[in-house]
Structure 1
């Protein structure tokens, strides 16, 4: 394996005509150049320099190596420049993971923005927050978009970095003829005998709803389970159940449904998470694009 510093010393001698002049060119001592040349000859197994009067001249092998060495050094310098550019430019793949609502409402806009600005390839994997955190830690994705409800906070691993990028609020969805439909704020405790529609048992959103309502002093009766917010709203519109729906997931409720703030208020913080050893320009640009997309939903 050729050592580039030693090849550079030989090229400097070929360019300047002497060890002393090569040392001045390289800003090292003449003995340092001589040591590099001696090591290079041992590596190559042949003489590269030979006496010529009071000076030195390159042997045929030395001339070949010096000539090719200039090309080699130029090529290595180009590679270093490309790598430096990668550190300062937004290039390469960006792999996102996100919970369902973010994947549907926010990620399309963020991805479109990234593709319009940079030469990147973007992928998105939809999964619950716990799965996304594991995928980031295991290097399957680069940026995770995860949610953490105040009543059921997530535990972000210490080896991941995070940045809060949005705060969301949940409202209660009720039929327009529900006794509390016209209230400015609906106490959750007033819905103790009301059936609920929620995600399926075992899903993070289901567990959050049950935990939240238990804190209001009652065990919720989840009679209907569905994995789509529009279905939740349909059951609410039919007067069959109440639902907790995030504002991020619903811009305008369908006919027959009202959305009312709750007491207590229900908030979740949304974070971007990434590995500390994977925080280059592309990752920063991806996080910024997602934060911008969230901000546009709040306008």
Structure 2
């Protein structure tokens, strides 16, 4: 007879694509997952996985069983969410992924407030880019993702998630105070030729937004010389007089001497949102979204239209 615990582990393996990834999602060891798979195969009477290089892949029987196991797993998750909703309990582990600039600006006060108010809540946080974290959200390895979307590079939101906009803010051109553009009250985008740039790493939303903005201004030689995820470091490079940067207002509250921040015309904006999975709409997740909203409002950054609206179901 097939047991639920082994089916739950098998559903995680099918969803995550490997034993190790499933182990991380379930907070168990890799050998424990492998043991469950071997016992499940004995119970099923057939092979469910086979080696594929250093990883594994599902057999035909494995794919058939995985479909049922994942339906059962989703039903169990929903049942837990329904019970939590009835009791309104904010407890357990909440796994959050967030971009670095929001981690620095908002997450410390949110963590302090939530863990102080809900002592049975264990909140874990990691930084990263939306392109890497959204699949983790879909796979159930994260409960919420704090991400950004820029006017010049709108983020693509996968199906099955919800977006909760926090702030809509302008980005400013950061140049050295001795740069010819530094005396201008506004920086026309058409004047941003012949600049050497620092930006977040390639593949990030901020990097894509800068590249798209420059290309729209017919800049054919986009020179991004310094790829640095941290905006504080980017501003230090600007202060050294070696580069320019495009910095959102949330990340530019403190600037080093020698840096001039100039509004862009037309305005370049980004929206910061919390993204959650529809199937895990629990009191714990809702409490996190509410606290993030309060923290964002306390920064004085205005909310506005959400560029993510309409990109998901």
TM-score, reference length from structure 2: 0.65
What secondary structure is seen at the aligned counterpart in 2 of 1:165? strand
How far apart are the structure 2 equivalents of 1:86 and 1:141? 23
Query: For 1:289, which of 278, 288, 291 is the aligned residue?
Result: 291
User: What is the match of residue 153 of structure 1?
Assistant: 154
Kept in 2: contact 1:197–1:243 (CA 8 A): yes
The correspondence of residues 66-215 of structure 1 with structure 2, limited to 5 A, is: 83=83, 87-118=87-118, 119-215=120-216
- Alignment match, 1:242: 244
Q: Residue 121 of structure 1: SS of its match in structure 2?
A: strand
- Alignment-derived partner of residue 253 in structure 2: 251
Gaps of 5+ in 2: 1-79, 302-313
Aligned-partner SS, 2:125 = strand
Aligned partners of 2:193 and 2:219 also within 8 Å = yes
Q: What SS is found at the alignment partner of 2:191?
A: helix
Q: Quick check: 1:197–1:225 contact (8 Å CA) kept in 2?
A: yes
Count of equivalent residues: 218
CA distance in 2, matches of 1:256, 1:268: 25
1:280 alignment partner, one of 275, 279, 282: 282
How big is the shift at 1:156? 1.1
CA drift of 1:218 comes to 1.0
- The TM-score, its normalising length taken from structure 1, stands at 0.68
Distance 2:113 2:209 in 1: 32
Cα distance in 2 for residues equivalent to 1:97 and 1:86: 27
Residue 194 of structure 1: CA displacement? 1.8
Tell me what 1:266 maps to: 268
Q: What is the deviation of 1:126?
A: 1.0
Instruction: Provide, for residues 74-121 of structure 1, a one-character-per-residue CA deviation record: whole Å limited to 9, x for no partner.
Output: xxxxxx9xx568632222221111111112221111111101111311
Q: From 221, 228, 231, give the equivalent of 2:230.
A: 228
User: Measured at CA, do residues 214 and 139 of structure 1 come closer, stay the same or move farther in structure 2, by a change above 3 Å?
Assistant: same
**Cα RMSD (Å) of the superposition?**
1.9
Following superposition, the deviation at residue 234 of structure 1 comes to 2.2
Q: Which has the larger radius of gyration?
A: 1
